[in-house]
């Protein structure tokens, strides 16, 4: 991976990764056994590569692919309720050409945005182990180097928030001291001209309980759009 010079090459390295035995076993087991509502579909069952505009100025960090979302479709936040929330918000703020993401071939394109995850394989109970997070960090470090136009980062959830700051440190960037603390809507100016925005993750646990509302989530990407100087779409 040290010799990769493009995001396409990095994505190929990610898809071939088998460093974490527990994740390999789980992602493949889910892909074999499936669930009833998707029993007729072919699952991806591999590490899920990032997705988006290679010249992006907005980077969105998630936790990991969902077992029957990204692990099924091959694209993060695709084919699950979290994706409906994320891509809907991106569409309403001009970062996506459509509000839904259902498959790799649905015509979705991101405009100036790029989506990645702290961990690239679906983990059991959506909880990666610390060693699994560490094993994926070199992918993030390489991404940060290749995505050299990014000036706004939205971290979805504390796990992604921490992973981004740790990835920055591993890449040689200096983080503030004390470290920023996660909180929905909190914003920090980081070294290198990057603004970090933290948001609750659009998980069912957050959206169905009202901890995260559509208005709250839209405000995150409205703020990102304004920081980037993009006009209101439409």
Residue 96 covered by a domain: yes
For residue 184, being part of any structural domain is answered with yes
B/e letters for 62-89, b = 16+ CB within 10 Å, e = fewer, are bbbbbbbbbbbbbbbbbbbebbbbbbbb
- The burial of 215, by beta-carbon neighbours within 10 Å (0-12 exposed, 13-18 middle, 19 or more buried), is given as exposed
Which pLDDT value is given to residue 234?
67
Give tens-digit pLDDT for 71-87.
999 999 999 999 999 99
pLDDT of residue 233: 77
Domain holding 76, by residue range, is 7-228
- Look up the pTM and report it: 0.96
CATH of the domain at 151: 3.40.470.10
Domain assignment present for 130: yes
- Residue 32 falls inside a structural domain: yes
Ranges of H-type helices in 75-175: 81-92, 130-146, 158-170
Whether 234 is covered by a domain: the verdict is no
Percent of the chain with pLDDT over 70: 99
Domain membership flag for residue 202: yes
Binned at pLDDT 50, 70 and 90, residue 5 comes out as confident
78 domain-assigned: yes
Kindly report, residue by residue over 145-193, the tens digit of the pLDDT: 999 999 999 999 999 999 999 999 999 999 999 999 999 999 999 999 9
Q: What integer pLDDT is reported at residue 231 of this predicted model?
A: 86
Asked whether residue 110 is assigned to any structural domain, the reply reads yes
CA nearest neighbour of 195 among 220, 169, 172 = 220
User: What's residue 1's pLDDT?
Assistant: 63
Percentage of the chain lying above the pLDDT 90 cut: 96
Total tally of structural domains belonging to the chain: 1
């Amino acid at each position: 991976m040290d010799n990769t010079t493009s995001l396409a090459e990095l994505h190929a390295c990610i898809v071939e990764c088998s460093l974490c035995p527990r994740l390999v076993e789980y992602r493949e087991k889910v892909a074999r056994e499936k669930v009833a509502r998707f029993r007729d579909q072919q699952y991806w069952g591999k590490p899920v590569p990032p997705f988006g505009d290679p010249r992006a100025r907005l980077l969105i960090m998630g936790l990991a692919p969902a077992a029957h979302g990204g692990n099924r479709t091959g694209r993060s936040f695709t084919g699950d309720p979290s994706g409906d929330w994320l891509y809907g918000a991106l569409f309403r703020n001009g970062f996506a050409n459509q509000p839904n993401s259902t498959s790799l071939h649905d015509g979705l394109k991101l405009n100036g945005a790029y989506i990645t995850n702290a961990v690239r394989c679906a983990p059991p109970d959506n909880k990666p182990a610390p060693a699994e997070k560490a094993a994926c960090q070199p992918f993030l470090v390489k991404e940060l180097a290749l995505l050299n136009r990014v000036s706004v980062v939205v971290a979805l959830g504390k796990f992604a928030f921490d992973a981004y700051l740790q990835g920055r440190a591993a890449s040689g960037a200096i983080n503030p001291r004390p470290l920023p603390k996660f909180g929905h809507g909190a914003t920090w100016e980081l070294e290198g001209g990057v603004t970090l925005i933290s948001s609750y993750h659009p998980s069912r646990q957050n959206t169905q309980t009202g901890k995260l509302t559509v208005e709250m989530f839209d405000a995150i990407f409205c703020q990102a759009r304004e920081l980037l100087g993009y006009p209101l779409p439409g």
